[in-house]
Structure 1
């Protein structure tokens, strides 16, 4: 796809959106033909679509049919060997025609390490196309946004390289470091408070400091503010609570804190701070230092803000109450788009809707989309969530984009230009309607993810493995037995943290000494070090997740929990399985009422091992 065809802005972007969604079925068929035309001679596709080479000189309906009948539905473990071979230096033609230019580190994990997703140069054009849609859509509902600034808190992460030298980085780092972002048009919709140098600083503390300071300097010109994820915005408020006096000092003196050592940040911020401004410093001091609470602090610091932008769906929905508290429920929460490392998917055409009602219109030019049906009601969804995610899905079961049905649940499957074929994204979606002929979906959940605070996504298998290993190593040699456990993501403080409820039997040996506090704390760190790379990075490097907590409960607590769930759901004892993550207020109340002791991890886990 020619990148120039994706350079739509303003009204032209909206017109292109209408064209694409009106012709959604045709666009999807053309996208699949383009993908096959470019990639049919790859090792991966040849394995399933062997035929006369002349047949593929022009991709026909026969070759499209062969793709749908022969190419299997896969998960990461199926494509991973090809990706690792390319990362080691083999040719991109293993899976793509165009050369792979970078590997994107997904927040999902495999064997404790981030997944590597192949990306080609023109993928940046597709991502930019989605970004260019957001402001024209929002501006239809909130006019006048070109009259002020945007305070967006964006961050990059340190890059790695594959053995052959390909960059390996997150999809957002890739975009912020690209010419698409750095050379973006200097129009009013791209008038950010933060200088690029602050966004591109690898030190998250210095980056946060400079971006918040810039936002405070321009506080009366800020019309919209936010971050990619709701959790990042709440981290910024927590940072502000700790450092507002330093910000006031810098603004009052017209100079930057000496702790900011990054030379690019210092240079950019020195140009921004300007002369001493005691009036603004006094205003901020009065708001932050003399208010009885921080309720509504966002509206008081940025009085002209019209909305907050952040992802508030899925695991991020747990932060909606906190955002409403800090904005005094006066600002809409806008969730603009749906995307992943594998592919960008769609946009929210009703940006001011309630967070619980957010639906995304899938853009048919981003990739080729198919869907695994999960049934037409929520009951079948529960059965589905218990299935093995590595199960074989018959190709005949898949549904095309334009043939999904309103109200039904599906798992998203994507085929991309960059070498993913019928790849299961792992997201469970529900169809809420159509815009023209393009379906709109509500994000329901991520398959098998039980705990998430920020970018971490801990599944039931990883949680079970880490807890079992810790108990086996630290409890069993001391003649103690882990009877049962469950968990939940505690976001009542910033940063949030994992809470694990343990019921321990210490009566299995008559002469066993009691389990010491130190042993349980060591269990905390052992569980953390058994979790995946992304969790450990969030804990240690990003500081976006707090120390893990084990709450030891009284004997018999999990029997009471079973009684509670059976009474609520009508299931029998034979059908009951202890939930590995609880969200029920009644269940949490029961568990917390039976806590004997609480223990936290005594140190950070290693994250780069």
Structure 2
């Protein structure tokens, strides 16, 4: 049903805080549709031939919940995908997908994901772009494919959908896409997926794909580059949140590290607090300064007034007079034991430094999160890593070679990346214990996502929390630990 002033929206709650409820109306969807239309023109001006095919987009919806007073509430992506804006979208290239709408609207994300992949594989030679709202969904889709490709090939070979797909909309619509038995298509896909190494698997399965479209991707860039053999551009087109849309990337072919978004002053009223400032220092959109860092404050058309978003942004330039911003970090996700204050950006830098060393080995980092462990004396940082063997034979049960000396080095590399306060607490005052890396088994971060989905998050908007505050999530991680390592310096 369309939203009005009596409907509510809710955030995912996975960026480090609890899920937030907020008022919504159709102006949000008006603005989102406006941004999507502009995005289409930006892409078509930068990517030749993209309009001559279909998009394999991993879109998901979630059943709406109700507030204590009985008002319906949905996450932002579900609100759009269930609205008339999406149902009655233009029939142009940008809105032509490999998956029928019935798949997108299926609330069971496992059936949804399986059918997305099946439809995309059957039409593999028509796919010119691949994407999702968040990069974590793309990575999860590839991992799901690793576990399901044999069954998918069986469906394509026989022309029959697996019996466990029970959603009627999925069964009816996907059966039409699947059509008759296609043994040659299944044979080709089987040959590709049965290879020992999955480097470049995306480009092998979808040879006409011109780019991967996704957002919130920094930590997933190496993984996506690996699966695309470093040949497909990774594009982030829109900067948005549950509260509002902010802006567009007008240079979509730039490197992920260089992405900046041109803010749109017509979608909300934006104000900015200088980093280390307060609400008394707030400036308007037209008064931000090049090279300065700010936290965004939003007043929108749905009733939110001067809401602090919690994102730290850097002014990188101007398009005409419209400021352009680069997302730097979430401001409210920190590790702290003593006097140390480690924010998300510091954590990313530390993990990336250790990851550079990891990349020279046969292992790759799948995902990570962290926890400030005060149960020890002194307390210390714990970083959970899920790693995989780049050359893994998927039928082999051989365990990865996790060397104590090597992972202790990774611990020290991370510690060396933290600021001077951390180093004083750790090495001089000894009020911090050595950093600990805990390696967790394959699939742990999928289970972590399941926890947050069960608590109301949407798979289509899910982002791995970088600092664990949930007892249930911590329990999942701890039960999955296969090896622990400390820095020895």
Structure 1 stretches (4+) deviating beyond 4 angstroms? 109-113, 450-453, 560-572, 574-582, 597-609
Residues 248 and 577 of structure 1: is their aligned pair in 2 closer, same or farther, counting only changes over 3 Å? farther
Residues 577 and 440 of structure 1: is their aligned pair in 2 closer, same or farther, counting only changes over 3 Å? farther
In the other structure, the counterpart of 2:235 is 334
In 2: Cα distance, 1:154 partner to 1:323 partner? 18
Contact 1:194–1:215 (Cα < 8 Å) also in 2: yes
In the other structure, the counterpart of 2:27 is 122
Residue 300 in structure 1 maps to residue 204 in structure 2: yes
Matches within 5 A, 1:59-458: 100-108=5-13, 113-289=18-194, 291-311=195-215, 313=216, 316-374=217-275, 384=276, 393-395=278-280, 397-450=281-334
In 1: Cα distance, 2:35 partner to 2:432 partner? 34
Structure showing the higher helix proportion among its residues = 1
Residues 566 and 132 of structure 1: is their aligned pair in 2 closer, same or farther, counting only changes over 3 Å? closer
Could you tell me how far 1:400 is from its partner in structure 2? Answer: 1.1
Flag structure 1 segments of 5+ consecutive residues without an equivalent. Answer: 1-97, 375-383, 385-391, 472-480, 495-550
CA distances 1:475-514 after superposition (whole Å, capped 9, x unpaired)? xxxxxx55322133535359xxxxxxxxxxxxxxxxxxxx
Q: Given the two structures, how large is their TM-score scaled by the length of structure 2?
A: 0.74
Please, what is the CA RMSD of the aligned residues? 3.9
In 1: Cα distance, 2:122 partner to 2:250 partner? 32
CA distances 1:71-91 after superposition (whole Å, capped 9, x unpaired)? xxxxxxxxxxxxxxxxxxxxx
In our comparison, the structure showing a higher alpha carbon Rg is: 1
Could you tell me how far 1:358 is from its partner in structure 2? Answer: 0.4
**Stretch of structure 1 that moved more, 564-573 or 266-275:** 564-573
Could you tell me how far 1:367 is from its partner in structure 2? Answer: 0.4
Contact 1:105–1:114 (Cα < 8 Å) also in 2: yes
CA distances 1:407-457 after superposition (whole Å, capped 9, x unpaired)? 11111011111111111111000000000110000000001224799xx99
Residues 578 and 284 of structure 1: is their aligned pair in 2 closer, same or farther, counting only changes over 3 Å? farther
Could you tell me how far 1:168 is from its partner in structure 2? Answer: 1.4
In the other structure, the counterpart of 2:424 is 573
In 2: Cα distance, 1:112 partner to 1:225 partner? 30
Could you tell me how far 1:578 is from its partner in structure 2? Answer: 10
Contact 2:246–2:264 (Cα < 8 Å) also in 1: yes
In 1: Cα distance, 2:13 partner to 2:45 partner? 35
Contact 1:433–1:439 (Cα < 8 Å) also in 2: yes
In the other structure, the counterpart of 2:357 is none
In 2: Cα distance, 1:248 partner to 1:577 partner? 59
Could you tell me how far 1:143 is from its partner in structure 2? Answer: 2.3
In the other structure, the counterpart of 1:505 is none
Q: Given the two structures, how large is their TM-score scaled by the length of structure 1?
A: 0.60
SS in 1 for 2:160: coil
SS in 1 for 2:11: strand
